[in-house]
Structure 1
Amino acid sequence: MRTMGLDVGSVTVGVAISDALGWTAQGIETITINEQAKQFGYDRVKELAEQNEVTKIVVGLPKNMNNTIGERAEASQKYAEVLESRTGIPVVLWDERLTTAAAERTLLEADVSRKKRKKVIDKLAAVMILQSYLDANN
């Protein structure tokens, strides 16, 4: 039984999956979103969830620093709601404040080029969201 973590952005969705014991998170994919074409990656997330026998999905909730819900957090809440109805898998919202900044800092410290950072930042943020959730719940 695995848990999936998602970092939902306006352009991409970073995807991470836990190991079978639910101790560690690994990044597996970045899905491109096309809001104009109404392509939000739901089908690909469902496909990955089925392939990996996912029993729970954790979606990052980007709250404001003062703990309020802004426009991006509302979009994440809507994404989680639609995803749960499409997959039938329980979806949990998890506070993800500063995970993208932490992922960026980690990649900078590892001296990853700007071009490569852009390709993996959302996947790494998904790993950080999921790992935070796993650590808090194990």
Structure 2
Amino acid sequence: MHLNHDPAAPASAEIRFEDFLAVDIRVGTVISAEDFPKARKPAFILTIDFGPVIGRKRSSAQITENYKLEDLPGLQVAAVVNFPPRQIGPMMSEVLTLGFPDEHGHVVLVSPGKDVPNGGRLF
């Protein structure tokens, strides 16, 4: 499946509310970020704390254009936590960290406007 990141693209096909509820999007705090030189495209490996129920998960994120490694720890981000893990080069990405494209098509992470408890589910 290919996602269209063009802001001028029409909306996707209509889905049922139950389909939306099946996607578990949670908030977590980045506890560490490291360079991922073995990725095909420039990326970082994020370790994100989703609280006591979900715990810590890792994610490969292609965010090198808009973020520095040292600025990521402490940042709260949104991620899909119920996709199957995906092999990205030598690492297993356990969650899909969410973002929007900036004017150049580079990822800007989704983050709540205020601090919220880790593990909170998007509704």
Which is helix-richer, 1 or 2?
1
TM-score bucket (shorter structure)? under 0.3
Calculate the TM-score normalised by the size of structure 2: 0.27
Q: TM-score, normalised by structure 1?
A: 0.25
